[in-house]
Copies of this chain bind each other. A is one copy, B any other.
């Protein structure tokens, strides 16, 4: 529990960066794989298996939604990380904050699987993912301010900033919507997949 600032040399910086990246990958990989534990094998007789499996459909749906969400966060993290030159204490802590919200997703996914028509379950999932999106854009901002990013064009920075606002907005806006229609809220989340294209489009205009 020492100060990385005392370390010198580019190779050492790269080594540390790689290890933080590898640890993050580990957390992403474990969290995404733990999602499967939410789909519980029915404890029924063989005759009732067919109908018991029908009851698992919301859990399986939630599994794929959360797999895509964690996958998207992982993908963004891996691209961002490949551009960093070094890591600082602050970046490491912001990264841990992000990871704590990612690692919580197996729980909030279980909620939307078991209570698929309860607005409160949708709300908690949306709060979890929304906060993770905020932490993610926070991470980008720290890296940018501390001069850790290589070769970033102004247009790309704008795209990042815009994406960092759209993503949390999608999830926080889905919360009031969930109390009107649970399905509409979940459909809104699909906007996450369109965010990179939209952010680049908007960023390109200026």
Select A200's contact among B3, B27, B156, B167, beta carbons within 8 Å: B3
Interface size on A, residues (CB 8 A): 79
A81 interfacial contact with B, CB 8 Å? yes
Select A30's contact among B33, B104, B117, beta carbons within 8 Å: B33
A49 interfacial contact with B, CB 8 Å? yes
A27 touches B33 (CB 8 A): yes
Q: A26-B29, A27-B32, A100-B64 are in contact. Are A196 and B1 (CB under 8 A)?
A: yes
Q: How far is the CB of A168 from chain B (nearest CB, A)?
A: 12
Mostly, the A contact residues are: helix
B29 touches A23 (CB 8 A): yes
A sample of 10 cross-chain residue pairs with beta-carbon separation below 8 angstroms, ordered by A number, consists of: A2-B163, A4-B82, A27-B29, A27-B32, A27-B33, A34-B37, A39-B104, A49-B118, A49-B120, A67-B100
Residues of A within 8 A of B (CB): 1-4, 6-8, 12, 15-16, 19-23, 25-39, 41, 46, 49-50, 53, 63-64, 67-68, 71-76, 78-83, 92, 96, 99-100, 103-104, 106-107, 110-111, 114-115, 117-118, 120-121, 124, 136, 151, 153, 156, 159-160, 163, 167, 195-196, 200
